Structure 1
Amino acid sequence: MNQQIPVLTDQCSLFIKREDLIHPLVSGNKFRKLKYNLAEAKKQNHKQLLTFGGAFSNHIAAVAYAGKENGFATIGVIRGEELINKIKENPTLAKAQKAGMQFVFLNREQYRDKENQVLLNRLKLLYGDFYLIPEGGTNALAVQGCEEILTSQDAVFDYICCAVGTGGTIAGIINSAKPHQKVLGFPALKGDFLSNDIRKFAKNSNWELISDFTFGGYAKVTPDYIAFLNIIYQSTKIPLDPVYTGKMVFGVLQLMERNYFSQHSKILLIHTGGMQGIKGMNQLLSKRGWPQIAYGD
C-alpha cells in the first residue's frame, strides 16, 4: 500500500510504502528478510533458528515471532550480560521470550566475535544444531526477499528512499529498481563499511547513501526529533519508528528544503516497520525527562 504524504511544497510528491502493515508482528523488511531463510531452514530440516541482536532489536523480535508461527524453536544471542536479570523490564526481550525464544547473553567483547566459528561451535554443543540467521538478518536469501518490496506499480517513481541498518534491504531495492530510478539510503549510523556491505549484494550502481541524519548515531535522538515524529503522526496518521524510518523521513524533507530533488519528482519512501521498539524508546525518553512518542503499543 502506497500512502501519499501531504507536503508544504509543490516541488515533489511524496508517497510511503506501508511495509509496516505487511504482518501484525513480523513487519516490514524483517518479514521480507526472513521469508526465504525460513523456507531454506525447513528445506534443510532444521528445528531451531539462532540469531544475534541487541536489547531492543527489531530483528530479535521478528525471529521470535516468525519462529513460533512457523514451528521453529528460537535462540537469541543478546549483546550485554547486564540484561540477564532484566528481561521483564525490556519490552522487546519480554515479548520475544513470551514467543518462546531462549536467550544467550554475551558481554560486548564476546559479542564482537559473533561470526567466529569457535563461538558458533560452542553454541551448537550447548543447544544442538540450528539454522543460523546473521545479526540484522542480512544474507543472500534476505536480499532476495527484499527484492520483492518494489512492484511494477512502483515504476512511476523517480526516487526510492529507505533507511539502512545492515544493508540488506537497500541491496534488494537496488536490484529491483528500474534504470531511471535512483535509490537513496539513509543509514542509522555513520560508517564507510556500509557501502562495502551493500556492494556485496547490490547488482546496480544507481544508489547513494546520505549520512547527514543519524542524529549522532544508532538509536540516538533529540527532543526536537521526537517532536517531529509526533507532528508527522498528527498530520498524516502514519506512525514512524524512531531508529530507522523516522530519520529517513526527516532526511527526505530536509533534502526537499535544500532543493536536492528536481521539480515535480515522485518520491517513494519505504516504511520498514520497527514499531515494536517504540515502547523501549519511550522508557529511555522517560528516564531523561524528555517528551515521549505519542503512539505505538
Structure 2
Amino acid sequence: MKEILTQKIKLQSASISLHIRREDLLHPFVSGNKIRKLKYNLLQVKLENQDTILTFGGAFSNHIAAVAFSGKEQGFKTIGIIRGDELSDKILENPTLQFAQNCGMQFEFVSREIYRIKSEIAFLESLKQKFGSFYLIPEGGTNELAIKGCQEILTQTDAEFDYICCSVGTGGTISGIINSSLPHQKILGFPALKGDFLQNEICNFAQNNNWELITDYHFGGYAKVNQELIAFVNQFYKENEIPLDPIYTGKMVFGVMDLINKNYFPENSKILLIHTGGIQGIQGMNNKLKSRQLPTIEFHV
C-alpha cells in the first residue's frame, strides 16, 4: 500500500480549511476503500485455507473489479455473482466485467429477482452445491473485517479536523471512520442511494454516535447522474487535478461544496474529505453518457 496523501483544496472561503485524503492513490487497481475492506478478509481467506472467494456486484462494481484483481494477485480463484442476466453476452461491452474476467474471475449472471435473495441461506447453499467450498464476501465488501480495515483510514495526524466527510454505499467505510474518530469530530456521510435504510446498517457496526447522513445529494439514486454533476466533476479536476468518480466521491464533494456555500459549517472549520476511489468505473459511465448524447467526464484514467 502506498503512503497516504492528503491534499488541500482551493476554496473562496478563507475561513474554511478543506483537505482530501487520496485513498484513490493507494493501489492502481484495488484503490480507495476497497483495499481497506479486503485487507483483513484476504488474510482470513488464508487462515481458513480457502482457495476460492465468492462475492456479488453489479455491472460496473468497484468491488467486483477489486476482488478479481486481488484474487489474481494473491492466487485465489474468484467467482462473481452479477446482477442482471442480460449481461451474460455483453462482457466485452463492459470495461469493468472485461477487466474482472481478464483477472480470472468466473461469472454467474442472475436475474434481478434472484439477486434480491442473495443473502438467503437456501440461495447460498445452492451456490455451494454448484461451486464447492468458498469464502463469502458480501456485496460491497462490508462485514466485520471490512470495518476493521476501514478503521485504519484515519490516523493520529487527522485529529486537527472537525469534520470527516465520505460517500456511503453499503455503510462499511463510514462505520470504520466513525469507530476510529475522536469525540470532537463530526462524521458526515453522503449516501449515493435513495432511502434511509443505511441508517440501520451503520448502526449495526458504528460504536459512536457522532455521525449524520446528508441525504440531499444522491442525484436521483444509485448510478444516477446529470449534467450539473458531470460539469462539477470536470471543473473540480481542472482546478485541483484530482479525478472524482460520479457515483460516490463526486456526489460527496459536490454536497460538501454546496454546504460550504450555504454556510453549513461554522467559521474556521477544518474539513477532511475521504476519496474512496471508484475511478475504474468512469470509462463505463462515459460509455453510458455517450449513448445518451450527454457530456462526458473529460479527464483520462
- TM-score, scaled to structure 2: 0.98
State the Cα deviation string for residues 169-203 of structure 1 (Å, max 9, x = none): 00000000010000000000122210100000000
Runs (5+) with no aligned partner, structure 2: none
Find the aligned partners of 1:15 and 1:94 in 2 and give their Cα distance. 34
Of 154, 158, 161, the residue aligned with 1:157 is 161
Q: What's the counterpart of residue 58 of structure 1?
A: 62
Asked if residue 279 in structure 1 is aligned to residue 283 in structure 2, the reply is yes
Q: Classify the secondary structure of the residue corresponding to 1:200.
A: helix
Q: Residue deviations 1:203-235, cap 9 Å, x none? A: 000000001001111111111210110000001
Q: Please say if residues 276 and 296 of structure 1, whose CA atoms lie closer than 8 Å, have aligned partners that are also in contact.
A: no
Tell me which amino acid in the other structure corresponds to 2:49.
N
- Of residues 204, 209, 220, the one that matches 2:208 is 204
Instruction: Identify which of 15, 19, 31 aligns with 2:35.
Output: 31
Contact 1:3 1:18 in 2 (8 A): yes
Instruction: Give the deviation of 1:125 after TM superposition.
Output: 1.3
Correspondence for 1:19: 23
Counterpart Cα distance in 1 of 2:174 and 2:250: 16
Deviation at 1:117, TM superposition (A): 1.3
Q: CA deviation at 1:292?
A: 0.6
The alignment status of 1:85 with 2:89, answered yes or no, reads: yes
Structure-1 separation of matches of 2:88 and 2:60:
14
- How far apart are residue 116 of structure 1 and its match? 1.1
Match of 2:272? 268
Displacement after TM superposition at 1:11 (Å) = 2.7
Matched, 1:104 2:108: yes
Q: Deviations over 1:86-121 (max 9, x none)?
A: 001000000000000000000010000100111111
Cα distance in 2, alignment partners of residues 120 and 104 from structure 1: 13
CA RMSD of aligned residues (A): 0.6
For residues 296 and 270 of structure 1, the distance between their equivalents in structure 2, rounded to whole angstroms, comes to 21
Question: Residue 129 of structure 2 aligns to which amino acid in structure 1?
Answer: L
2:6 paired residue number: 2
- Count residues with an aligned counterpart: 297
SS at match of 2:205: coil
1:221 aligned residue: 225
What is the rounded CA distance, in whole Å, between the counterparts of 1:148 and 1:83 in structure 2? Answer: 36
Aligned position for 1:166: 170
Who is 2:256 aligned against?
252
Tell me, in whole angstroms, the C-alpha distance in 1 between the residues paired with 2:249 and 2:130. 37
Distance 2:158 2:6 in 1: 9
Shift of 1:44: 0.2
Task: Please give the alpha-carbon distance, in whole angstroms, between the structure 2 residues aligned to 1:252 and 1:214.
Answer: 13
Write the distance in 2 (CA, Å) between the matches of 1:89 and 1:296.
19
Contact 1:275–1:296, Cα closer than 8 Å, also in 2: no
User: Matched residues in 2 for 1:100 and 1:11: separation?
Assistant: 50
SS at match of 1:186: strand
- The reply to whether residue 128 of structure 1 matches residue 132 of structure 2 is yes
**Structure 2 letter corresponding to 1:218:** Y
Corresponding residue number in structure 2 for 1:240? 244
Which residue is equivalent to 2:47? 43
- Provide the C-alpha distance between the structure 1 equivalents of 2:15 and 2:235, rounded to a whole number of angstroms: 21
